[in-house]
Amino acid sequence: MHSCYVPPTQISDDTICIGGPERNHMLNVLRLKPRDPVQVFDGKGNSYIASLCEIRSPLLQAKILQHQFQPRTPPYVTLFQGLPKFNKMDLIIQKTTEVGVDEMVPMICCRSIPKYTAVAQKKRIDRWQQIANEAAKQCKRPRLAKVFAVQSMDRCLEQATNLDLRLLLWENEDRHELKQILHRHQEAKSIGLFVGPEGGFSAEEVEMALQSGCLPVTLGGNILRTETAAIVGVALVMYELTPAKDSELGQ
């Protein structure tokens, strides 16, 4: 069944109005017709099964057949990602969205090479948010991941102070493995994961992170690319801290 995201403002008690690129995709790419079923998400936890009933108007109309709400459940993961070169951020956003990240903050570090003007930065954020939205739609996530504006590392550390657990992926850490730290903090609900750009964090940045309460962790003996570290880090946090469903416990 084909799926799409529609803002909550376009959903009433029994009807969903679908416009913009989603309307174009359904009509001109998928070539859906009246009475065809679609799955609609509002990005806030609501999902609907609906049947198209009007395709000629500027807004497609679909009659709601089923509605389900999925409450937000921990862990809530924020990825603070040091800006990498080229289009690596596209891959990071796509894949971490698929594995469950909630928020992504592009972070300027000492060794970050990209330098964006205000206009270019706005275009990048819009592009990254669209990539996150498409990834969420592909894996049928009931909630959209949020991409924030580019920020300095000290601002990111300040933003992370309200999170339960702040982790710094650092290639020179040789004592605390990420899995080990997560086992010790099973009660953590909100997690901030700091990943450096190519070349990693500088010594000054590591010291600043430690002073702000970040725990340095390693992913093992191999030195990973920044995009690999981000994807693996988020996946491990989701795997270790996501509560098991009742069916998985045999209940």
Contacts of 235 (CB under 8 A, 6+ apart): 99, 100
- Report if residue 248 sits inside a domain: no
Spell out the per-residue pLDDT of the chain, length 251, in tens. 888 999 999 999 999 999 998 999 999 999 999 999 999 999 999 999 999 998 888 889 999 999 999 999 999 999 999 999 989 999 999 999 999 999 999 999 999 988 777 788 889 999 999 999 999 999 999 999 999 999 999 999 999 999 999 999 999 998 999 999 999 999 999 999 999 999 999 999 999 999 999 999 999 989 899 999 999 999 999 999 998 765 444 54
Burial of 245 (0-12, 13-18, 19+ CB in 10 A): exposed
The 10s digit of each residue's pLDDT in 91-108 is 999 999 999 999 999 999
Closest CA to 78 of 224, 201, 233, 210: 233
CATH code assigned at 38 = 2.40.240.20
For residues 128 and 186, state if they share a domain.
yes
Q: Considering the entire predicted model, what is its pTM?
A: 0.90
User: Which structural domain range is residue 237 located in?
Assistant: 76-241
Query: How far, in Å, CA of 137 to CA of 122, rounded?
Result: 23
Query: How far, in Å, CA of 242 to CA of 245, rounded?
Result: 9
**Domain termination residue (choose one: 52, 69, 86):** 69
**Domain termination residue (choose one: 22, 42, 69):** 69
The neighbouring-strand residues paired with 63 are 15, 51
